[in-house]
Structure 1
Amino acid sequence: MNTPDPLVERLRAAGCVFAEDEAELLRDAASGDALEALVERRIAGEPLEPLLGWAGFAGLRVTVAPGVFVPRVRSELLVDAALDGLPDDAVAVELCCGVAAIAAAIAATRPDAQVWACDIDPDAVAVARSNLPPERVLEGDLYAPLPAELRGRVALLVANAPYVPSDEIAFMPSEARDHEHRVALDGGVGGLEVQARVAAGCREWLAPGGRVIIETSERQAPRTASLLVEQGLAVRVVRDEERDGTCVVGVAHPR
């Protein structure tokens, strides 16, 4: 008969569904008093990944930190869509990048690509500069910080812009609602305010044949798609049931 693991039992009692896995990860991260401090914070409800300092994403360990948006498995769909047909030596930009997990995954797979990332949250930018070359991570609102010489040359724009309607944030899991900056979650009334601004500015930056990929929910996908149709892009919706991911892909043909 196996002796119960006290750490696993503590985590399970606190509601951690994958208590065995979490216990192993926490023990790998620390020992002694430092481990106990992490365990107490986890039991108090802090998300696991910021406690560890990293999150698994698309085969990478990307740096994360308290307060920033932790990349979700569903966003790996955007990496797959981005890499599908990405030209050689492409300019790729991740907007609303958070810790730049998508950009990092693209760069790791396609080192020939010139990958940039932008976010308005200075805390997220600071962390993202651990996941990409620091000079390629820019702080500012959407397209504003991008170098002017990229205008009209971008083969790929990818964005996990916040898309939770403001009045639905209260119903999100505590790990997001209480521990991630609201700017990374709040999509405004209806959830599509930031997406609409991404769509409105994309044609100025995309190269002919360039693509824009926006994460969305299955429910919101038709409305997200309409934002890109309004910009004259050829649009399709991509759905991944296994990862519960949805994105909209728009292709810019020459005007």
Structure 2
Amino acid sequence: MRDRLDRLERLLGTRVDGVHALGSSHAWTLHHASLADGRDVFVKAASDQAGVFAAEAAGLRWLAEAGPGTPVPEVVAADEHMLVLPWLPSASPDPSTAERLGRELAALHTGARPTVHGAPWDGYIADLPLDNTPDDGEWPRWYAERRLEPFLRLGARHLSSADVRLVERVMADVETLAGPPEPPSRIHGDLWSGNILWTDDRALLIDPAAHGGHRETDLAMMALFGTPHLDRILAVYDESAPLADGWRARIPLHQLHPLLVHVALFGASYRARLVDAARSALG
């Protein structure tokens, strides 16, 4: 523990007066630290997660480049063993904060769009590698090849051969299923409800798997495990940056990637939801 405190003090250039453990997630531990200069910070730490922390820091900084008011926290510091963010006290979600999130998420997706899918750093989702190789091709084929196929291979041991063939059918028909073409957006990439930090006046997006992708992906992920006031978020989003016709019917297509990730990480307990999403995507 002393080695970790010394590292944190060197990284931040100030004394750490206290650290409170918050538990763990995947391969890292979480902490609330009080600093001698009066700041409080959130610390994610691990012995060997250099790629994960570098990707998260790069993703937060890149999302912030979309413009003023982007709903992401600043990166205080990062190295191969730690990621440090401001400490942000949480609050209960309310309709006003949800509407603000809808507006700010729309601005993130439509402001300073990237020119390619992917990102200029090695990606991760949780602690699984995510292929971010920049690609100027169309989104449907990119999604099938870079998001569905690799995780189908990872999770195949938890699926039947019929399940695998079902997802492969989606991949084969993805150009037809994907809806009207859209330019890439800066997306969070892992926007389930646990990665939305609600504060007194706004919601901030944390733990991104950020990349240039399809903006419907973030909205589908918010729907996957339930997000407070989601109807208000989506209504304000659609007013601010209207979505293409049929976007609700495409939600299962965009949910296939995170469901495959969950199958790869947690096994067959997510198989039924994956199969349902694949069938719904095919209509």
Greater relative contact order (CA < 8 Å, ≥ 6 in sequence): 2
Q: Same fold (TM over 0.5)?
A: no
Please give the TM-score of this superposition, normalised by the length of structure 2.
0.25
Higher helix fraction (1 or 2) = 2
Please give the TM-score of this superposition, normalised by the length of structure 1.
0.27
